Structure 1
Amino acid sequence: MIKLPNLPEETRAAHASKGWPLALAGSVLLIVSGLLSWSYDPNILGDISIALWPATLQLFAIFLGAVALIFALMHKGPLQRLGDWFDAALGLRTLGNGAVFFALLSILAIAYEAGGLININPGAWVALAGAVLLFVGAHLTPQRLLHDLAKTQVSSVVEILVIVVLMAFALFSAAYVLGRDDAWVFVLFLLVLGVIVMAMARAGFFTWFGYVGARHRQVLTLAAFAVAFLFPFTQDGSDANMSIATQVIIFAATAIGLNIVVGLAGLLDLGYIAFLGSGAYVAAMMSNAASATVGFKPPFILVMFIGACVAAIFGLIIGSPTLRVSGDYLAIVTLAFGEIFRLSMFNLDGNNGPDLTNGPNGIPGIPDLKLFGFDFGKPHTIFGLQLGRFSNYYFILLLLIGFVILVFTRLNNSRIGRGWVAIREDERAAEAMGVNVFGLKLFAFAGGAFLAGLAGTIKAHQDTAVSPDQYVFLESAFLLSAVVLGGMGTVAGVLVGATILKLLPEKLRFFSEYRLLIFGLLLVVMMRIRPEGLIASKRRQLEFHDEDEGLAKEIQQEHLLEVAATTEGPR
């Protein structure tokens, strides 16, 4: 979201008493607007023409108004005890900015779909009035002196309940957003959700939740995987939505591998898609497809290992002679490697080279996986719900990304991970301190390639075909964008970045050829207002906001908590 200018402190101080009532009134108006009719046309945007029967945009307005009301009551009212810990004023300002954008975009959507402003009913205008009141009131509301979130004393039951509720909300949101076919509804829901999440972040909720997650790490991990496991059961057997979900997981697993190279070791790789392609081609050539070119047909578990090792060997081959260069030169070399791989797949057709890949035709007709008697190509009924082909692949990909996340986190927290970070920060200083710079760089390339090769072996069977056109430079650019957009060096950030980059183009097909333009503009805006990424590590965030003393204090507090956690235990 674009950051609107703040009011001068003199203006805020002079009218501070008016801020809270205006914010409260704006919140209530947003809720009321959701109960009114927004359009004369019942055939657009999920029928928002009926009063007292809210749908889509009306529900979003009620949801946004309810959250703003809670923040207002946290600042002054029955929930004021919570407001002693969380910065409700900052959260209200974010909600006020977002509410104005939501109301204006909703009016634009209705006018576009219904054929003019004349077809907009009072509900939308009431929402705009409420958003303006909330915006003005929020920016007039002064901030309060808060307690230190690190010293919060809440029972473990409440903390675990918060984790469960947040994970359940994530499951509901994912199911809802994938079920939206209308592009306007999809965009407006994401806008409302993003505004609320940003408001909670600015209020300090996720800082506190970080402490809760550290105290209940096992519960948080279990809840996250439970949500991921239950997701296919919310899609009512939809193969279209599950196809998107499986593509997201493959993309995310590959991006996490790239995160080792870029996020931890600080090496710019623009040809990373080649490692995914090498794993996919190995799986295709060793499959039972009629056009497969290798007579060796081992079990798929062994194929996964072979494909990952082949990708890692490619990583060593490209890394050994090139990692002595850095910066722009390394980027150019890796870009060239990506193109060399794609052109090699074109030429290994039996005419220009060995007959391995069938050239530009690729290897079609790859059969579905069959593991331990389970056929991934057939639908199965579980708990009375039919799960299709893509749901079957979703579960095995879930195991894959769990393994990839485990490898990444273990490496990140090890001596190797600390060596990578030292190289990223200052290669010369790391080498002077005895860090094996070249060896760790090479291991980063090989390790990241290994994880991408694993994902590629499953991707080949899920797509039922491989061809050189699937592994173009644009795919490498999207992988790098997922790492940078989500937050380099973090798992959650890359998962969010990968989801956004795969989901938005699929759901914005309504905008035809303009969707990539809109998407590019969003990335530019994102890099302008939050260059550290959506979910950045605190240390990397401080690199972009080194003047933020509060952030530096948070990092110091987290370091003390980590030291205390490692020294606790029986004596």
Structure 2
Amino acid sequence: MSTHDDLTPTNDLPGVDAPAPVRETDRPAYDDDHERTPLLERFPGRGSAAAWPLGLLGVALLVGGTFLSWSYTSNVLGDLSVDFYPNGVQICMIILGLVALVMLLAHQGPLHRLGDWLDTAAAVRILGLGALAYMVITLGIIAVRSGGLINVNPGGWVSTVGALLIALSGLMLVSHQSKDPLFAQTSSWVEIITIVVLLAAVLFGATYALGTSTGGAFSLFLVFAFALAWGLAKAGFFTWVGLIAQKNRQVLMLGAFAVAFLFPFTQGGSDENMSIATQVLIFAATALGLNIVVGLAGLLDLGYIAFLGAGAYVGATMSNSAFATIGWKPPFLVVVLIGACFSAVLGLIIGSPTLRVSGDYLAIVTLAFGEIFRFTMGNLDGTNGPDLTNGPNGIPAIPELNFFGFDFGQPHEILGITIGRFANYYFLLLVIAAIIILVFTRLNNSRIGRGWVAIREDEKAAEAMGVNVFGLKLFAFAGGAFLAGMAGTVKAHHDVSVSPDQYIFLESAFLLAAVVLGGMGTVAGVLIGATILKLLPEKLRFINDYRLMIFGLVLVLMMRFRPEGLVASQRRKLEFHEDDEDLAERIEEVHLEEEEAKA
């Protein structure tokens, strides 16, 4: 009688090992091939020849519908009641449709070579689903504000059907990507043109987003931007963009500052939009300083807003305000240095004893420092302490800055375009942000920066290798405080007043969230994170009661699906995806190719 073990398959060929017997524990929990197939693979019509023409038809309907009226009434989302004159809401759909068309032509058509490098099927699928969500929300807004779906004109339904067809096409298409975008070799002029086009798109996108007059239109723009970015990311486009950005860093930096410089000229003298822009710059400059402490050195600081406040109070007390308590009125450039140095000294004083602890204890101590600073500023009123800050009332009526006869409070005409008060401060903050970015990048690429990263990864190992752990941690604390103090001196004049209630713990939490959300240790990531966290609350005031809830939900989703941040360095990607050996191999191959090219 043969036993079960006797039935184990063998191979009698010399030099060939017999395959290992299959154990019951190695078998999957299901045996049905249908159950093993991913849901997307089981979609009806998957791989059908009709998928591609169906997508082309959807693009034609989506774009064609935008040239027809979407709404019977003219007071919804601008004016959607005019034929052959699409407004901003409809132009967003035209852009999504054209990008989907490019992906379809790359999948099967004259651009088929592009399809070898990009996952065009995934891009079409995401773009179609995004367009469908956009149209459903748009039809809902029209129905709510105009009294029912009966007021939706044929153009809206045509574009909705087009979006549905694109989504179905994307679900039916099968990707034939055969090459990794990381290894794409393109000419320099193609790379530079791509960078210029992307920066121009950012400029016009920001202009449109700030110019939206209703919360509904801004929310639709967010859906559009998310669908477009996600679709291109799934295709692998941003993988290539990250590669060319590394190769053309100087072009990218110059182009980014050119876009930032041109931004006020696109606002038509709008003080409201420029006020938001200056607040974003102040927030971003401060977050970049915090990025040294948290992103590079790995020190969790929950009281960082105090250093911004210290610089602001120095700028206020040394200003020409009638409520200023210090008689010395030095030039503003001197005030900036004093405010930055004062914040750095505070960083040294607080950091010397507190940096002996780490982790949760450091977070608690820095949180306490932030609250101590706020209460101290409220007590220096001449009653509970020296009369330096006017206590809870703060220092109001801070005059405008004046550089060599240039009054920042007065509008100016440049090339026939009015540059108002907030635009004047915007340009000054742009210079300060450039200085902070320069300092950050130099430190990040220096021996000091590598020491900070070593401390962040493993403090004990860094100390064993001879790294001056305490000295570098203290320098990070003081350096970050110095940069925050610089921004604070300008903030005092921009806000016209300084008071303790401006520097609460929630502001420190938002700064930390900007660093984590954007990408710790990166410049572009922190700028994007700061922009998102400052812009969204301003434009979503119509859901004021739910803004913090939405903000918390976004952070939870980010920590779940992209913990390294929106714009993460390669090092951070590997830290959060240690098991992704393929990613590590790809990055290593790219580095080897770059070194060979340099040699």
TM-score, normalized by length of structure 2? 0.90
Looking at structure 1, the residues matched to 138 and 553 of structure 2 have their Cα atoms a distance apart, in angstroms, of: 20
Looking at structure 1, the residues matched to 157 and 577 of structure 2 have their Cα atoms a distance apart, in angstroms, of: 39
Q: Does 1:372 align with 2:407?
A: no
Counterpart amino acid of 1:136? L
Select 1:84's aligned residue among 97, 116, 121: 116
Select 1:17's aligned residue among 34, 49, 53: 49
Q: Does 1:156 align with 2:188?
A: yes
Looking at structure 1, the residues matched to 38 and 137 of structure 2 have their Cα atoms a distance apart, in angstroms, of: 22
Match of 1:545 in 2: 577
Match of 1:175 in 2: 207
Looking at structure 2, the residues matched to 9 and 140 of structure 1 have their Cα atoms a distance apart, in angstroms, of: 9
Q: Does 1:355 align with 2:387?
A: yes
Counterpart amino acid of 1:543? E
Looking at structure 2, the residues matched to 434 and 28 of structure 1 have their Cα atoms a distance apart, in angstroms, of: 65
Match of 2:19 in 1: none
Aligned partners of 2:118 and 2:177 also within 8 Å = no
Looking at structure 1, the residues matched to 221 and 372 of structure 2 have their Cα atoms a distance apart, in angstroms, of: 42
Aligned partners of 2:115 and 2:177 also within 8 Å = no
Corresponding pairs, count: 563
Shift of 1:273: 0.4
Match of 2:414 in 1: 382
Counterpart amino acid of 1:395? F
- Distance 1:405-1:33 versus aligned 2 partners, 3 A rule: same
1:325-364 CA distances to partner (integer Å, 9 max, x unpaired)?
Answer: 1111111111111100000000000100111100001000
Aligned partners of 2:311 and 2:339 also within 8 Å = yes
Q: Please give the secondary structure, in 2, of the residue aligned with 1:386.
A: strand
Select 1:282's aligned residue among 314, 330, 333: 314
Select 2:469's aligned residue among 391, 413, 437: 437
Q: Pick which of 378-387 and 356-365 moved more.
A: 378-387
Select 2:293's aligned residue among 253, 257, 261: 261
Q: Pick which of 283-292 and 140-149 moved more.
A: 140-149
Looking at structure 2, the residues matched to 387 and 396 of structure 1 have their Cα atoms a distance apart, in angstroms, of: 13
Aligned partners of 1:479 and 1:498 also within 8 Å = yes
Match of 2:549 in 1: 517
Q: Please give the secondary structure, in 2, of the residue aligned with 1:17.
A: coil
Counterpart amino acid of 2:329? K
Q: Please give the secondary structure, in 2, of the residue aligned with 1:291.
A: coil
Aligned partners of 1:7 and 1:139 also within 8 Å = no
Shift of 1:314: 1.0
Select 1:339's aligned residue among 332, 351, 371: 371
Select 1:426's aligned residue among 448, 458, 476: 458
Shift of 1:13: 8.5
Q: Does 1:462 align with 2:494?
A: yes
Aligned partners of 2:303 and 2:369 also within 8 Å = yes
Aligned partners of 1:75 and 1:89 also within 8 Å = yes
Q: Does 1:271 align with 2:300?
A: no
Looking at structure 2, the residues matched to 19 and 296 of structure 1 have their Cα atoms a distance apart, in angstroms, of: 75
Q: Does 1:200 align with 2:232?
A: yes
Q: Please give the secondary structure, in 1, of the residue aligned with 2:49.
A: helix
Aligned partners of 1:186 and 1:507 also within 8 Å = yes
Looking at structure 2, the residues matched to 332 and 12 of structure 1 have their Cα atoms a distance apart, in angstroms, of: 55
Aligned partners of 2:46 and 2:171 also within 8 Å = no
TM-score, normalized by length of structure 1? 0.94
Looking at structure 2, the residues matched to 47 and 545 of structure 1 have their Cα atoms a distance apart, in angstroms, of: 47
Match of 2:335 in 1: 303
Aligned partners of 1:90 and 1:202 also within 8 Å = yes
Q: Does 1:71 align with 2:110?
A: no
Shift of 1:14: 5.0
Select 2:160's aligned residue among 108, 112, 128: 128
Select 1:321's aligned residue among 331, 336, 353: 353
Counterpart amino acid of 1:67? V
Q: Does 1:115 align with 2:150?
A: no
| Two-structure CA RMSD over aligned residues (Å) | 1.9
Q: Pick which of 81-90 and 472-481 moved more.
A: 81-90
1:240-295 CA distances to partner (integer Å, 9 max, x unpaired)?
Answer: 11111000000000001111111111111111100000000001011111010111
Shift of 1:548: 3.4
Shift of 1:110: 1.7
Match of 1:239 in 2: 271
Looking at structure 2, the residues matched to 527 and 68 of structure 1 have their Cα atoms a distance apart, in angstroms, of: 29
Counterpart amino acid of 1:402? A
Shift of 1:517: 2.9
Looking at structure 2, the residues matched to 14 and 228 of structure 1 have their Cα atoms a distance apart, in angstroms, of: 45
Q: Please give the secondary structure, in 2, of the residue aligned with 1:82.
A: helix
Instruction: For structure 1, list consecutive stretches of 5 or more residues without a partner in the other structure.
Output: none
Looking at structure 2, the residues matched to 331 and 18 of structure 1 have their Cα atoms a distance apart, in angstroms, of: 58
- Distance 1:492-1:427 versus aligned 2 partners, 3 A rule: same
Shift of 1:551: 2.6
Looking at structure 2, the residues matched to 484 and 448 of structure 1 have their Cα atoms a distance apart, in angstroms, of: 16
Q: Please give the secondary structure, in 1, of the residue aligned with 2:212.
A: coil
Looking at structure 2, the residues matched to 88 and 471 of structure 1 have their Cα atoms a distance apart, in angstroms, of: 48
Looking at structure 1, the residues matched to 150 and 224 of structure 2 have their Cα atoms a distance apart, in angstroms, of: 25
Q: Superposition pairs for residues 500-515 of structure 1, below 5 Å?
A: 500-515=532-547
Moved over 6 A (4+): none
Aligned partners of 1:6 and 1:139 also within 8 Å = no
